[in-house]
Structure 1
Amino acid sequence: MSFGDPNNPYGQQQPPQGQPGYGYPQQAPQGVPPQAGYGYPQQGQQPYGVPPQAPGTLQANNGYINVAGLGTVQVATMGRRFGARLIDGLAIGILYAVFSAIGLAGVFGASKSIDDCSGIDPLSPQYQTCVNDAAAQAGGIVAAFFGAIFVFFLITLLYEWLMIAFVGATLGKMALGLKVVKENTGQAPGIGGGFIRWIIPMVGSVLCGIGQLLVYLSPFFDNSGKLQGWHDRAAGTIVVKVK
């Protein structure tokens, strides 16, 4: 059967309408998606010319960040971080009150011992012995008081430093579902990172606590959207929400 044009001197045949042929676009069978042509990225691939997102890259500046090993997680809000700090402060405050009460009880006990010498004749040898004993007792109590303060400082150091270093969270952060991680690995900060993150606010506390307060408020000054404080930047860490 001929499909040629009778006026065509070469007698070239034309394909029937709807059948693929030269000069006609081919249509994919129904239900089968067409294949992408050259120059177009396949589904799931990064578009050509667009670099892949590196760890630590914010997702459209909407509070989510891509962290290696964790995927896309939400940056911890300042409200949650403040709440975690309050819980930690309450726990440390209770501990401080206990140590202070022990120290004050010792000081009052030493004062009472000195008052007990008042009933003895000041010119008698017994009075001098009583005063010496009371002074020795007071000195021991004062030493014990400062020793208790040192132990309290050591406990707070180990609490903040080691828990952040190995767990990535204190009790307050655990309660509010927050975690401190290395920005480039998603792992806990480790000994070095945890210590750097702890020591910077402590150095700031020397200036009547003003420097420490500024460090804790420094995430508000971070224009990257990651809410990194100065101590986080120095340690290479970021605080994220994990639940």
Structure 2
Amino acid sequence: MPASFGRRLSARLIDYVLALIAATLFFILMAVVIVLLTGGAETSDAQGEVWAWLFFFGWGLLLFFYDWLFLVTWGATLGKLVLGIKVTREDGGRLTQGQALGRSAFFCLPQSLPCLGHLLSLMESMAALGEERRAVHDRASGTVVVHARG
């Protein structure tokens, strides 16, 4: 049975909180490393530019790798596991690596675009409110989100 939009959204929010914690810890760690390596001296414009690009594109990449690795390994992200849902092929089988890669790329990578990417992801996810409960990234990758238990 396909999972409800509310359950899917809740799972995604859990995943975002976990990714935000990981990103925050990463940036704190990197800031400490940079201070230790530079002795607290100011960084160059080039270094600042690298950080800006990492900040903008890092979020989408972090979400992509998180989503893809969990889908390939367990068929669900941590948020989905907590809420008892998983991603399967349309026939109910386990995802292929290609399906997991495509699904994760379609949903996560656009989120590297500030504001616009999140809006695009939200809009394409609204398709899961339909009768089939499948978002555009589900249809594009041949997947469905279902209840894992019972």
TM-score, structure 1 normalization: 0.49
Q: Distance in 1 between matches of 2:5 and 2:128?
A: 12
* Structure 1 portions without partners, runs of 5+: 1-73, 115-134
Instruction: Quote the residue 1:68 is aligned against.
Output: none
Which runs of structure 2 are paired with 1:67-216 in the superposition (5 Å)?
Answer: 74-108=1-35, 113-114=40-41, 156-183=63-90, 185-216=91-122
SS at match of 1:174: helix
The alpha-carbon distance between structure 1 residues 151 and 200, as it changes in their structure 2 partners (threshold 3 A), is closer
The alpha-carbon distance between structure 1 residues 209 and 190, as it changes in their structure 2 partners (threshold 3 A), is farther
Letter in 2 for 1:97: T
**Number of aligned residues:** 143
SS at match of 1:205: helix
How far is 1:110 from its partner? 6.6
How far is 1:240 from its partner? 0.9
Identity %: 29
Q: Distance in 2 between matches of 1:79 and 1:96?
A: 25
Higher RCO (CA 8 Å, separation ≥ 6 residues): 2
Indicate which of 214, 222, 232 corresponds to 2:138: 232
How far is 1:224 from its partner? 5.5
Letter in 2 for 1:225: E
* Structure 2 portions without partners, runs of 5+: none
TM-score, structure 2 normalization: 0.74
SS at match of 2:146: strand
